[in-house]
Amino acid sequence: MTTTDNDLFGVVPIIPTPFTEQEEIDENALRNLVDFAIAGGIGAACLPAYASEFYKLTDDEKLRVVRVAVDHAAGRMKVVAQSNHPSLKVAIRLAQANVDAGADVISLAVPRIFSLPETSLKAYLSEFLEAIPNTPVLIQDFNPGGSSISVSFIQELMNEHPNFKYLKLEEPLCAPKFEAIIEATKGKIGLFEGWGGLYMLELVPVGIQGVMPGLAVADILQRVFTLRRNGEDAKAFDLFEKIMPQIFFSLQNMELFHYAEKELLMARGVLSNSIARKAAYIPDASSVRYIRELNERVVELLNDETYAIRPVEKVLA
């Protein structure tokens, strides 16, 4: 199910990995999450990424969640299959297996365990792109220790590899960089903002193609994205400000994000638990109460007809 069209657009959320009480992957719950995304008008979703706890999954489990999502989506929604691994050989094996499973787009995070020069990163990414030449690739660069890949690097990679179609960056104050990338690539690379969609209002006017937040607020952010692109700025800001406290609080720690995200999905009737694999963040009583309060406010917002958010029925089996 591959394509060479630059057709990812809008909100492309990350689907979390649901677990049983024994911390095994809950396939039925994963199917509920796919249905929830589709019911919310989402055209494409990604897994298993950082927000899916991919770093706690075995390689076989990473492939398994993609297969389940592709099979259950059955063409109703595009699936972006994250194929991260610091070993190029393993990353290629994961990517090729995900292509065979029917993933529409392959996503890969720039390896950032240790600092590497761009020459090393170029060799890694180039060989990866060459290994799946007929499948569009989304490259993600999340570099807490410094800046993301350079504009010249991005331009060279695009010129040499036509299947490099999308780029996701997650860093503050990056509007000038996004503008420089759009100019250098003549808009041929679809740019996505990550980090929960925190910077989306700044970047939509710049020309980003979409955002990649958590699934629990994806339908709300899709509405914000549409309003902002259509020039309805006051409405976009008003709606975004309603969910900002939940997004901001949860992003203080990635493991806290897993807990808050799954708790919100529980509040929305999609998941039956908020279990994350250990080592996991164990929130104190105060944080538990505050997250519950924040999530309740999001649920109340969904019932406010003022914002015309497409209603999503509870899908918990």
Domain residue spans of the chain: 10-242
- Tell which CATH architecture fits domain 10-242: Alpha-Beta Barrel (3.20)
Q: Is residue 93 pLDDT above 90, yes or no?
A: yes
Torsion of CA 71, 75, 80, 82, to 10 degrees: 10
Cis peptide before 131 (omega within 30 of 0): no
Please tell me the distance from the alpha carbon of residue 168 to that of residue 116, in angstroms, as a whole number: 19
C-alpha angle 301/270/79, rounded to 5°?
Answer: 100
212 among annotated binding-site residues: yes
Separation of CA 156 from chain center: 25
Q: What pTM, to 2 d.p., does this model score?
A: 0.95
Asked if the model's pLDDT at residue 6 lies above 60, the reply is no
| Residue-level pLDDT at 301 | 94
- Indicate whether 190 pLDDT > 90: yes
